[in-house]
Chain A
């Protein structure tokens, strides 16, 4: 079981990184969106490997099933004419490159510093099979307040959207 677990982990990791790179370099917007979806799916796969099925499911339903659908909707409704497909590189990529390097340096340092403590998790201790209940309990007991705030925020956002839509149609 152990080797299979690792093999899957490596597979998902490589998939995630590769599709992330591909996403950025694609000229065709829709291809980019599809690669973004594969990245999200591979991160979901990693969640599953850590026995956190609830997170796996939420990741899929929320990100891939919800948000990305809106992304694809927008891409299709706003009919991007051909010019958008041309190469978009302009001067700013130098700045972006520098930032990426800085970030990479931080990562490397963190890995190097914590080298000792870092061991591939042998086999994550068997989290209680019913982690859905665990998440549920935590959400409604310790984090009750934040849960309420989040829900109000969402409510406001929804009402805002409706009002804007009404004004455009009206």
Chain B
């Protein structure tokens, strides 16, 4: 009967029952990918139950949206999932374009697709690096960041910012692609396939890595759908569903790529699915860069946007899952209500089901494998 447990930050909590102890993985825990606090009810080494306490990073984005014009709100969208800012932007811009009933010109749509796919690779790279670091492999994180740096350089050349890029505007693009954009992307994609093989050799057949991830945090297909889980986590449980194929947006319908899925839905499968997704994204980029159509980059919409009253729900396939925007407009320049459907927030709900019965060391791996970003969870 071990006495009180003090987490990193929290106050001591006294002991429960016979040998059940509450262990606090506090907001400052090194491996909770941000300010997430998990209250674990432990029975010896096993996790009997867990409760995620979130809200430390809540900035009230939806309330702010009601007091900003459509264009002014666009940069806020990048601050939610700060690891995949470009795809947030794409989601929001396309939702508003649907609200206005217009379409971005073909050239803009293709460039948007390329940048979103590059952002997906960057987001997966960051996930892989931190996930491997949590499980103890010290080297992959540096390899991943080296590749991610290349992508961020392309973003910086294109729109001046690396992380919260605000790369797209409602109706199309603000900037024409800088000359050499195609070469940079092609060069990156070409040597990226060798790099992915590097990670694969380091991790995929690594006995310890397999030992630490196989059979950990299992989520079967039925639970996944019931819990509303989307993205790589859902595909790893065996559901072959990707919004880019099911309901194509931007220019995804012009390229062929396949959707990786696995069956058992454990941490190893999610790892394999995400690695395969990176390869597919690379394929899309290569196809897209081949023939970027010429033409205008901005649809003809006025400076002041006054969408007709009504509502729209538009969602895209963000790196973490289905990112949806439900926008209600009352005909003024400011949206009446913007509701963001955050993939990380809903995927995190599945954490309790995955963590039950696992060991403390696995909790860290499970948090990593769901790939959450607290900016998006708390909004």
Residues of A within 8 A of B (CB): 79
Using an 8 Å CB-CB cutoff, how does the interface string of B1-13 with A read, 1 for contact, 0 for none? 1110000000000
CB distance from A169 to the nearest CB of B (A): 10
In the complex the two chains form, what is the Cα distance from A123 to B338 in whole Å?
95
Closest CB in chain B relative to A168 CB, distance in Å: 12
Least Cβ–Cβ distance between A165 and chain B, in angstroms: 14
Nearest CB of B to A14, in Å: 39
| A73 vs chain B, min Cβ distance (A) | 14
> In the assembled complex, how far is the CB of residue B45 from the closest CB belonging to chain A, in whole angstroms?
12
Report 3 cross-chain contacts, Cβ distance below 8 Å, ordered by A residue. A79-B1, A79-B2, A79-B3
Q: Report how far A79 CA is from B3 CA in the complex, Å.
A: 8
Across the A-B interface, the 3 shortest Cβ-Cβ residue pairs: A79-B2, A79-B1, A79-B3
Which chain B residues lie closer than 8 Å to A79 at the CB level?
Answer: 1-3
Q: How large is the interface on B (under 10, 10 to 19, 20 to 34, 35 or more residues)?
A: under 10
| A interface majority secondary structure | loop
CB-CB under 8 A from B3, the residues of chain A are: 79
CA distance A79 to B1 in the complex (A): 7
Q: Which A residue sits closest to B1, measured CB to CB?
A: A79
Min Cβ gap B274→A in Å is 36
CA A63 – CA B220 in complex, angstroms?
A: 52
Residue of A nearest to B3 (CB): A79
Expressed in whole angstroms, the Cα–Cα distance for A44 and B101 within the complex equals: 91
Q: Which residue of B lies closest to A78 (CB)?
A: B1
**Interfacial chain A residues near B2, Cβ < 8 Å:** 79
Inter-chain CA distance A79–B2, complex, in Å, is 7
Q: How far is the CA of A65 from the CA of B76 in the complex (A)?
A: 62
State how many angstroms separate the Cβ of B371 from the closest Cβ of chain A: 35
Closest residue of chain A to B2 (Cβ to Cβ) is A79
Q: Closest residue to A77 on the B side, CB-wise?
A: B2
Task: Tell me the complex Cα distance, A43–B1, Å.
Answer: 36
B285 smallest CB distance to A (angstroms): 53
- Determine the distance from Cα of A65 to Cα of B3 in the docked complex, in whole angstroms: 28
Smallest CB separation, A110 vs chain B (Å): 49
Q: How far is the CA of A124 from the CA of B183 in the complex (A)?
A: 87
In the assembled complex, the Cα of A79 lies from the Cα of B5 at a distance in Å of 14
Closest chain-A Cβ to B202's Cβ sits at a distance in Å of: 36
Rounded to whole Å, the gap between the CB of B273 and the closest CB of chain A is 35
> How far is the CB of B78 from the nearest CB of chain A, in Å?
50
Residues of A within 8 A of B1 (CB): 79
Interface 1/0 per residue, B80-123 and A, CB below 8 Å:
00000000000000000000000000000000000000000000
For residues 1 through 46 of chain B, which have their beta carbon under 8 Å from a beta carbon of chain A? 1-3
Distance of A79 Cα from B19 Cα, bound (Å): 12
| Residues in B50-91 with C-beta less than 8 Å from chain A | none
Bound together, the chains give a CA A120 to CA B264 distance in angstroms of 76
Distance in Å: Cβ of B141 to nearest Cβ of chain A: 35
A170 to chain B, nearest CB (A): 15
Residue of B nearest to A81 (CB): B3
CA distance in complex: A79, B4 (Å)? 12
A116 nearest CB across to chain B (Å): 60
Shortest CB distance B359–A (Å): 15
> How far apart are A84's CB and chain B's nearest CB, in angstroms?
14
CA–CA, A27 and B1, complex, Å: 22
Bound-state Cα–Cα, A131 to B2, Å: 47
Q: Which parts of B290-332 form the interface with A (CB within 8 Å)?
A: none
B43 → A minimal CB distance (Å): 13
Distance A113 CA – B1 CA, assembled complex (angstroms): 55
From residue 344 to 361 of chain B, which have CB atoms closer than 8 A to chain A? none
B1 vs chain A, min Cβ distance (A): 6
Q: Taking the nearest CB of chain B, how far is it from the CB of A74, in angstroms?
A: 14
A3 to B1: give the CA distance in the assembly, Å. 54
Query: In the complex, A128→B1 CA distance in Å?
Result: 53
* Nearest CB on A from B53, distance (A): 28
Return A90 CB to nearest CB of chain B, in Å. 25
Could you tell me the distance in whole angstroms from the C-beta of B313 to the nearest C-beta in chain A? 52
From residue A64, how far is it (CB to closest CB) to chain B in Å?
27
